[in-house]
Structure 1
């Protein structure tokens, strides 16, 4: 910052307060809120002044804190009172971003994205729309956001959603793109539709009379995180085969029953990872909660998660804190 002075004869980097004020960039400020339903879909609203869907939010008024603006906009647009102290992302939107008419003289914007949490059906049912501006709300699959929203808005929403899953603090974005991409960002997780894996959850072994469609494993590292596979081409995530890696103390965890077939799950402790056999997949360590949030498991997901934590405790492993998922080395490793 240059030195300020009221003496017009001072040279060098000295500036008068008026000169310094005139030299600073002018930007708009906005605040939005990212809300999901229990299935991990994102709340978007329809408005009467544009075709694209939007996250709830709007402009920060003069002298208003961004978090206060987020709370005000949620109250005005959805009739929901709340407090949103947790930031998910701060985005710099350039002045030449598409969609702004020249006569608006858009100077660029700093846009804050706050975490509105996961809403229960009861809270969703309490939404009350205003008489004008907001015409409806929907909960959209994350991968559908680019088709529903302006391109920059969709990038920002997906980056904020990944930041929420990561749990590593707010993401710094430039035109919706993280300046320091995490593994979820680099792999483009959530850019394609999650495969629905619904049905009822049943703890324990699969009964002998039921046909088994597939067997996958909750494979635990020593710190309590689990192995997760990500398809590099699509960003789709899934649990590995229950026999894919070096594992000990395997126990039948339970199964999902859907379409008259069982999808069996096993729990085991990892002792090592072999060198990567298929370069099409990245291998990550993630918390069980992160695996659930990146998957579409329906209401039975919380029951499966409870079984996972019971198995982790049975294996004598700690409950892992939420940290950003880490991509594992291709050459493998041992614990």
Structure 2
């Protein structure tokens, strides 16, 4: 017996058209679609529905003869009252027949579910949402780490995988039961599985005022291609820039703090740093300073003596790095200062591309 995967190609001579059609129909799956939407803080839109005790992304079943992307746009209109073109895929998820809790009477055959990128919505777009009278009780923008608490386990895995794929900028990913078959560094470290700390501090480009103690010194450290070094914690998946808290041996020198911390955390060395500015919180008498510099070397990986962690080191654009933090509206001001420093250093503006893990020593 000979078969083919192309419906326009004739099956083998030992199989009739009717038999071949029946064989393919026996392997048929449902098709569904969902749309990942975030707000400007990187929180994910979820729907509270009246027929489940868990939340969902916007979306639903693909109708007969309908394309998945058309179905995604239709569901946005029906569920949120929003007309939008949905044309960027983030993930395709395969769900087996035996993995669902669907009632036996449904005869669930398994499903292929397409996840599309609904983009980042501003306050005006969010205010335009209009919910239907039935089915959608409410919508909420939630921290990515809360998705497992609000959604079914598989739906949460799928949403987080799709969000990581969007941040990683490597194109759509193939999932099985919500998990990528080819995990990226963001997947393997579990980025966004823990709640991002809110640091909604005002960014000020000027020097630290007298009387304010420097509590933290972090650096935007550039590779020659315009990307920056970001560190991912192995036990939490949390992201941080190289840097840390001043110690007495730094002698009240924030640059000395940055040099020491970058060496301890990432075995990284860099050239002359440029001062970007500082962050302040009106409730605390402290300042958090930020620098930019060009990386010169990355040494062999080793454990940070202060935390006993071995960080995962990766390069990404400054914009991609910001998506791993919850820094509020002041993040845009800091990002502008970062790019001014990058231009001063004579480095290009990097286009989005997949995060690159740094495992071997490198010299630039």
TM-score by length of 1: 0.95
2:241 match: 239
Which of 338, 344, 347 is matched with 1:314 structurally?
A: 344
* 1:333 matches 2:334: no
The aligned residue for residue 78 of structure 1 is 80
Partner of 1:304: 334
Are 1:209 and 2:211 counterparts? yes
1:282 aligns with one of 307, 312, 316: 312
Once the two structures are superposed, what CA deviation does each residue of 1:263-291 show, in whole Å capped at 9, x if it has no partner?
11110000101222325211111110011
> Runs of 5+ in structure 1 lacking a partner?
5-10
Q: Deviations over 1:54-96 (max 9, x none)?
A: 0000000000011110000000000011001000001101111
The residue that corresponds to 1:263 in the other structure is 288
Deviation at 1:208, TM superposition (A): 3.1
Taking the aligned partners of 2:23 and 2:207, their CA distance within structure 1 comes to 69
Deviation (angstroms), 1:211 = 1.6
Q: How has the CA–CA distance of structure 1 residues 3 and 46 changed in structure 2, closer, same or farther, with 3 Å as cutoff?
A: closer
Q: Deviations over 1:9-28 (max 9, x none)?
A: xx977311111111121100
Which SS does the other structure have where 1:50 is aligned?
coil
Q: Is the Cα–Cα contact under 8 Å of residues 225 and 287 in structure 1 kept in the other structure? A: yes
In structure 2, the partner of 1:8 is: none
Distance of 2:310 and 2:22 partners within structure 1: 53
Describe the SS at the equivalent of 1:252. strand
Q: Is the 8 A contact 2:301 2:310 kept in 1?
A: no
Is the 2:279–2:287 Cα contact (8 Å) retained in structure 1?
yes
| Cα deviation digits, residues 107-160 of structure 1 (max 9, x gap) | 011100000000001110111000000000000100110010000000000000
**Pick aligned residue for 1:272 from 270, 274, 297:** 297
The secondary structure found in structure 2 opposite 1:53 is coil
Alpha-carbon RMSD: 1.5
Equivalent in 129, 143, 150 of residue 152 of structure 2: 150
Is the Cα contact below 8 Å between 1:198 and 1:256 reproduced in 2? no
Matches within 5 A, 1:1-335: 2=3, 14-24=14-24, 25-241=27-243, 242-243=258-259, 244=262, 245-258=268-281, 259-260=283-284, 261-278=286-303, 280-329=310-359, 331-335=360-364
Distance (whole Å) between structure 1 residues aligned to residue 113 and residue 13 of structure 2: 31
Q: TM-score, normalised by structure 2?
A: 0.87
Give the 3 Å change call, closer, same or farther, for CA 117–98 of structure 1 in structure 2.
same
Q: Distance in 2 between matches of 1:303 and 1:38?
A: 14
Is the alpha carbon distance of 1:303 and 1:136 closer, same or farther for their aligned partners in structure 2, counting shifts above 3 Å? same
Higher deviation after alignment, 226-235 or 203-212 = 203-212
Point out the more displaced range, 238-247 or 167-176. 238-247
